[in-house]
Every structure is written in C-alpha cells, then in structure tokens.
C-alpha cells in the first residue's frame, strides 16, 4: 500500500508496529482506515500537523454507519497518539457516540420452517469430513436462533455449560467477555 500524505512515513512506521501485534484482519482494517485518512490528508494539508479542522473535515467525508465511523476513529486516535509520541502536533478527536441504527430481521414462521427443514435434512454426502454434522447442524441452528447466540458462542459451548434440568446455558466465551 502506498501512502502519499505528509504523514506517509509515520503511517508506514505505525503500521509496521501494528502488524507485529495484530491479527491479519485487524491489521487489514487499520490499513484501510489509514489509507482513507491518508488520501484525505494528502488533498487537504501539506503540513505535518493534524488540526481539529482536518479531523472534522475527514469525519464529514465518512458516509457509513455510525458504528463503522467509531471504529475508524478509534484506529485514527491510536495513530494520532503515535504521531504525538514522535513530536508531531495532533488533535485527538473524541470517539463519536454510536447511534443504535441496527434493525433486526425477524424471520416469518414459514422462513423458520424452511431453515429448520434444510438443517434437519442436511445430506451426509456433503459432510464427508464430519459425519456427525447431520446431528450437530440442526442443534447449532436452533441454538443460534432460539437463544440469540453468535456462531462463535455456540461452537464454544461444552457439555458442562448446558444445564438441561434448569434450562440454562452458561456462556463462557462471549463478545466482549460479558
């Protein structure tokens, strides 16, 4: 990735530090966010100074969900703190509040019936690596929908986490460890 703004060297140095400590997907997100910031900074400044006006101008170009903007700002804030550590003046923006713009999709009874029928009739020929998938998949599907679990949470469940007598699942590995 090529950077062209006055901060190109600092971005490259920062990303090389981040690459050593992040997963590939997180590193890729950081690269994308910093590339967008770099493009904006290349057009709007030729100084090695990150002003409040520069940050606010960049934020106004972001036309994505508020949760994505907050994620971008978090990465940019980390970079700006890095800039400050190299003695470059940088305005550190607050993390914007995330609007709750998520609208869940509610499956109709017909859609659920179709999903469960497909899960229940998963062909064994498609499950060569795991012959038990024909039993596991219907259970995973119902747990995810019926309990509102994420796939990782569902797959992390162990028998010790399931209390069939009281109808309780103990979630040990959840998003944000909540």
Domain locations in the chain? Answer: 8-85, 109-177
Residue 133 has pLDDT above 90, yes or no: no
For the entire predicted model, the pTM comes to: 0.59
Residue 128 has pLDDT above 70, yes or no: no
pLDDT at site 102: 75
Residue 114 has pLDDT above 90, yes or no: yes
What single DSSP character describes residue 50?
A: B
Residue 16 has pLDDT above 70, yes or no: yes
Q: Are 171 and 150 in contact (CB under 8 A)?
A: no
| Neighbour-count burial for 106-123, b at 16+ CB within 10 Å, e otherwise | eeeeeeeeeeeeebeebe
**pLDDT tens profile 34-77:** 999 999 999 999 999 999 999 999 999 988 877 888 999 999 99
Confidence band of 94 (pLDDT split at 50, 70, 90): very high
pLDDT at site 125: 61
% of the chain residues with pLDDT over 70: 97
Residue 140 has pLDDT above 60, yes or no: yes
């Amino acid at each position: 990735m090529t950077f062209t703004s006055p901060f190109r060297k600092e971005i490259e140095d920062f990303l090389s530090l981040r690459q050593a400590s992040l997963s590939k997907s997180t590193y890729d997100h950081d690269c994308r966010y910093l590339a967008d910031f770099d493009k904006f900074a290349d057009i709007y400044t030729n100084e090695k100074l990150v002003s409040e006006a520069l940050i606010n101008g960049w934020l106004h170009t972001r036309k994505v969900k508020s949760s994505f903007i907050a994620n971008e700002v978090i990465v940019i804030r980390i970079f700006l703190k890095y800039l400050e550590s190299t003695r470059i003046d940088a305005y550190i923006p607050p993390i914007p509040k995330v609007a709750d713009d998520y609208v869940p999709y509610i499956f109709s009874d017909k859609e659920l019936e179709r999903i469960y029928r497909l899960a229940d009739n998963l062909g064994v020929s498609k499950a060569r690596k795991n012959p038990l998938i024909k039993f596991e998949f219907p259970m995973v599907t119902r747990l995810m929908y019926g309990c509102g679990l994420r796939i990782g949470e569902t797959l992390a469940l162990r028998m010790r986490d399931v209390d069939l007598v009281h109808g309780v699942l103990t979630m040990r590995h959840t998003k944000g460890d909540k």
